[in-house]
Amino acid sequence: MKSRYGAAGWYRPARVPHGREPSQNGVRRTPVTSHEEPVVDVAVVTWNTAELTASALRHLFDSDQGARVRALVHDNASNDGTVDVLARLVPEADVERGSANTGFASGVNRILARSTAAWVFVLNSDAWPEPGAIGRLVEVASRHPRAAVVAPRIERPDGTLEHSTHPFPSVRLAWLLATQGSRIPAARAEELMLEGSWNHDRPRRVDWAVGAALLMRRSAIDDVGGFDERFFMYTEDVEWAWRARKRGWEVLFEPSAVVRHVGNASGVKRYGGARTRAYLKNTYRFFAREHGPAQTLAYRTANLVGCLRLYRRAKRAGDAERSRFWRDHILAALTPALGRDRPPG
């Protein structure tokens, strides 16, 4: 039977071997096993989102996920009492208090070092799965042994779709968008997963999916390694999927599993209005590492041409918000992106 999905020097966290649980405060946790339902470790990194994270985790634990879930939380030295709030409102969660804000990628890697399950569900601190979502993702992944990741459909709490799957950045795609834009045929735009043309309404292979909600296969993590900690926040999901692709793994999208996502709760606190530029700088940083200076110059140039066109269009229309949006893209295209990503301030 043909699949519904159609054709198609990195950090490795220290990890406890399968079947063994790390001890904490001298107490060894008992491994959880089940012949009926898969065990899934839900990995949540927090930073100053106490009440929102407590609410999201309560949604998780109060719903039937079709799997036995364990919430492993790493708190990046929050100053809003996150650890205490979670201990009081979500005692089921296993919370680790960090000594500094080391970023999202680093936080996930620390959770991966604690996890012993065959499946890890990376979940933003302001997101929660609808009933049955995790079990559905595991079911799909189990039928596709080369699926490193299965990503759910992500919606805002009001049901609005979040565009969460994308093509890898490339010079060819950048020039296509710069020169044709809205004139790209609908079928081609849907194939390329372009926002406004791809409705996330069918299962398919994708290049990468946003890290707000990802079911990850433990054996793929062991093969590919953890997230690249040189990215403090943003683009670590693109980079990991790229590495996985090079090692023969694939990323699948499954719309029947739905996750609700408030969106950028920690990112706005950390980056504020510079969030778009922070994401774009990391994208250029990733691209330069993988493709070299000549390809990166061509990629920047293509993006600059396209963004200038859209900026002028927004200015003519008197759309201040869109003008700022495209101005941020222009500034990112003109800004060198070397070295390690660090938070502002």
Lowest-confidence segment of 133-137, 237-241, 269-273, 312-316 by average pLDDT: 269-273
SS3 state of residue 3: coil
What pLDDT score does 344 carry?
Answer: 40
pTM of the model: 0.85
The answer to whether 11 and 109 have CB atoms below 8 angstroms apart is yes
Helix boundaries (H) for 90-150: 104-114, 133-143
Name the average pLDDT for the chain: 87
pLDDT for the residue numbered 35: 52
The yes-or-no verdict on residue 140 having pLDDT over 80 is: yes
Residue 26 has what pLDDT? 27
Domain boundaries, the chain: 31-164+200-263, 272-334
Residue 158 has a pLDDT of 96
* Residue 340 confidence (pLDDT) above 60: no
**Which is more confident, 280 or 270?**
280
Quick check: 81 and 112 in contact, CB under 8 A? no
CATH 3.90.550.10 fits 31-164+200-263, yes or no: yes
pLDDT at residue 334, as a whole number: 86
Q: Round the CA-based radius of gyration of the chain to a whole number and report it.
A: 20
Question: What is the mean predicted confidence (pLDDT) over 6-30?
Answer: 34
For 34-90, the pLDDT digits (tens) are 456 899 999 999 999 999 999 999 999 999 999 999 999 999 999 999 999 999 999
333 DSSP assignment? H
Q: What is the mean pLDDT of residues 291-319?
A: 95
Q: How far apart are CA 328 and CA 337, in angstroms?
A: 14
Nearest to 178 by CA among 300, 96, 95, 297: 300
Instruction: Look at residue 304 and tell me whether its pLDDT is greater than 50.
Output: yes
Q: Give dist(CA 333, CA 166) in Å, integer.
A: 19
Collapsing DSSP states into helix, strand and coil, what is residue 46? strand
Spatial neighbors of 122 by CB under 8 A, at least 6 apart, are 43, 108, 211, 213, 214, 216
Cβ neighbours, 10 Å, residue 296: 18
What are the Cα distances from residue 232, in Å, to 76, 84, 108, 339? 12, 25, 11, 12
Reported for 92-97, long-range contacts at CB under 8 A and 24+ positions apart, including other chains, are 92/57, 92/61, 93/44, 93/57, 94/70, 96/72
| AA letter at 33 | T
Helix axes 275-316, 320-334, angle to 10 degrees: 130
